[in-house]
């Protein structure tokens, strides 16, 4: 195994272990970058009341795409929610530079599994320069609760191999 792959795997292991250790502490998100890849991870197990409108899961985070060819952004969201019976009109969405993230799935309705879990991945391409990224839960009704959530953003520079 070459040195770059070993460093990458080590960084992922450190990120995962630190992520688990910091769960629910309200600590700042973890950030790792190197060799054309940047990873931002933020989790919480502190219950959050959900109100009508946009409910931010995290603060908007800055990142810079350094590649002249742009960057490929993958946003993964996992949340455990509970709503009153019959409220299936909510969605989880990631915004890049204030706009819904890229291709698919769109910011449409989510349908939790039997355990109230929603898993969503959104993919975008951004140009060179500074950007912001944030994930939100949008609801048409008050009364829901997000019991825990995790957002992972992976930013890959086009034209470079991690």
In a domain, 109, yes or no: yes
Residue 139 lies in a domain: yes
In a domain, 61, yes or no: yes
Question: How do residues 15-39 score in pLDDT, each as one tens digit?
Answer: 444 444 433 445 577 878 787 888 8
Give buried/exposed letters for 47-79 (b at 16+ CB in 10 A, else e). Answer: ebebeeeebebbeebebebebeebbbbbbbbbb
Domain that holds residue 142: 3-157
Inside any domain, residue 162 = no
CATH number of domain containing 118:
2.60.120
pLDDT digits (tens, 9 = 90+) for 74-127: 999 988 888 766 666 678 889 999 988 876 556 766 666 556 678 888 889 999
Q: How many domains does the chain have?
A: 1
Instruction: Determine, yes or no, domain membership for 21.
Output: yes
Give the C-alpha separation, 44 to 150, whole Å.
7
What pTM was computed for the model? 0.75
């Amino acid at each position: 195994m070459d040195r770059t792959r070993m460093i990458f795997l080590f960084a992922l292991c450190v990120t995962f272990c630190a992520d688990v250790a910091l769960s629910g502490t309200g600590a700042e998100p973890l950030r790792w970058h190197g060799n054309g890849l940047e990873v931002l991870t933020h989790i919480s197990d502190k219950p959050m009341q959900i109100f009508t409108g946009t409910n931010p899961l995290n603060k908007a985070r800055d990142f810079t795409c350094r590649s002249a060819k742009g960057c490929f952004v993958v946003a993964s969201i996992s949340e455990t929610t509970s709503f009153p019976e019959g409220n299936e009109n909510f969605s989880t969405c990631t915004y890049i530079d204030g706009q819904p993230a890229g291709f698919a799935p769109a910011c449409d309705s989510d349908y939790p599994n039997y355990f109230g879990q929603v898993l969503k991945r959104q993919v975008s391409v951004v140009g060179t320069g500074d950007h912001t990224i944030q994930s939100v839960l949008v609801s048409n009704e008050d009364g829901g609760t997000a019991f825990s959530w995790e957002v992972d953003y992976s930013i890959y520079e086009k034209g470079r191999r991690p």
